[in-house]
Structure 1
Amino acid sequence: VWVPVAEYRRDGKSTIERRDKRTLERLESFSVDDHIGCVAAARELLIGGNWDSRQIYYWDRRGRLVKKHENRAANRYQDLKVVDGELVGSGNLSRDEGAIDWLELNSLQLLRRIRAGKTDRGVLFTNEGMAFRDSKLYLLPEDGPSRLFVYQWPERR
């Protein structure tokens, strides 16, 4: 499991850590001179977004920077995942609307977007964590104690 550990400030520093998924023991890490708030693991790459994901970083598995893209999308990604060879980012378009974007992994070209609203507590569903597993979308939107929202996700044809 790859985890970003960041100072809570826009231009802060971060450590990207790989942890054992059973014990959470730290296996390896590397430092980044930017606030990295989300990380996705591809086969040979790690992909991370800085504060509001205005820049998307690509590192090899040893932490060497491969490239960095400006994020041209309006979406301020809060979490990133690699799903079926595409980069999936969940984030906020505005204070009132969130979205989940599917992006071409290397160019960040927007392939499709699903818009998301708010919970009954007034928090965007895409405000924090997101995961896909076994045709289900998991959203953990709230800070502190949060509820987990689970949606059945249709198979892509």
Structure 2
Amino acid sequence: MYHPGGIDFDGTNVWIPVAQYRPNSSAIIYRVDAATLDVHKQFEVKDHFGGIVMDKQTGHLVGNTWGSRRFAEWDLQGKQLSTSENPNYFIDYQDCQYVPSSKMLCDGITNLPQTPAAGGAGATYELGSMAMIDLKSHSVIRDVPFQQWSTAGHVATRNPFKMTADGNHLSMKVAPDNGDEGNGTGTGTEKQDSEKRHPASRRVAFHLGNNHPVARISRTKVTHSPVARRDSV
């Protein structure tokens, strides 16, 4: 097993699923102490799990399988407490982060085939999206398309992301590109107050849920740095 998926930080530990790079396989859930960087093998699971979050209300872990077709919930010893099918076929989630209370915010991508005029079967369109999921009911509260691209031409929600809030303003950091691509791996930052520094930035708006205000953000300059490759999970 060599393929790390979407990680989560609970304030003390970093939780990392490491799986075989194929569906319907297996994975190991690791816990890394953020202070000492000691690595602990927590438990094994009999499927490819490419993302994980800790529900801070219950203390349980929630993971998503290859293509995000199924969710599973475990206690910290690896006992499976529940499993549920993903009701959303809009996108395959790539990374998720915990949102109080008992929710998770996920980004993802779907590759759509193109018309003959746009390249036909040999061409695809990357449809990106963000989704808010209720960890209690396993229902999708809200999902919205997210169409911002990297300099390599990939949708921003193709790989890992991190969303932070400052009052009514949201900032989102993404790393959509693979390190072996011609343009390298770009890490981009989306934030509301960047327009003062980058007045030419294009403004976009998206809504994350009933309890979240509409966040108007403007795209900042994309900088490049090497990060580990993250593929579909």
TM-score where L is the length of structure 1: 0.89
Instruction: Say yes or no: does 1:147 pair with 2:164.
Output: no
Residue number in structure 1 paired with 2:74: 59
Residue 28 of structure 1 deviates from its aligned partner by 4.1
Residue number in structure 2 paired with 1:88: 105
Contact kept, 8 Å, 2:164 with 2:172, in 1: the verdict is yes
Residue 147 of structure 1 deviates from its aligned partner by 1.7
Contact kept, 8 Å, 1:80 with 1:87, in 2: the verdict is yes
CA distance in 2, matches of 1:50, 1:147: 26
CA distance in 2, matches of 1:72, 1:16: 25
* Runs of 5+ consecutive residues of structure 2 not aligned to the other structure: 1-13, 113-125, 193-206, 214-233
Instruction: Say yes or no: does 1:126 pair with 2:165.
Output: no
Residue number in structure 2 paired with 1:103: 133
Q: Alignment partner of 2:212: what SS? A: coil
Aligned-partner residue type, residue 73 of structure 2: Y
Q: CA RMSD in A?
A: 2.0
The equivalent position to 2:65 in structure 1, one of 40, 50, 73, is 50
CA distance in 2, matches of 1:59, 1:36: 12
Q: Alignment partner of 2:156: what SS? A: coil
Contact kept, 8 Å, 2:150 with 2:186, in 1: the verdict is no
Aligned residue-pair number: 157
CA distance in 2, matches of 1:22, 1:125: 30
Q: Alignment partner of 1:52: what SS? A: helix
Residue 13 of structure 1 deviates from its aligned partner by 1.1
Contact kept, 8 Å, 2:42 with 2:76, in 1: the verdict is no
Contact kept, 8 Å, 1:48 with 1:80, in 2: the verdict is no
Aligned-partner residue type, residue 185 of structure 2: S
Q: Alignment partner of 1:126: what SS? A: helix
TM-score where L is the length of structure 2: 0.62
CA distance in 1, matches of 2:190, 2:135: 24
Contact kept, 8 Å, 1:88 with 1:101, in 2: the verdict is yes
Residue 33 of structure 1 deviates from its aligned partner by 0.7
Aligned-partner residue type, residue 137 of structure 1: M
Task: Say which is worse superposed, 122-131 or 112-121, in terms of deviation.
Answer: 112-121
Residue identity (%): 25
CA distance in 1, matches of 2:173, 2:144: 14
* Runs of 5+ consecutive residues of structure 1 not aligned to the other structure: none
Q: 1:103-142 deviations in whole A, cap 9, x for unaligned?
A: 1122222212231123231212111112223442221212
CA distance in 1, matches of 2:27, 2:212: 35
Greater fraction strand: 1
Structure of larger gyration radius: 2
Greater fraction helix: 2
The equivalent position to 1:156 in structure 2, one of 204, 208, 212, is 212
Q: Alignment partner of 2:137: what SS? A: coil
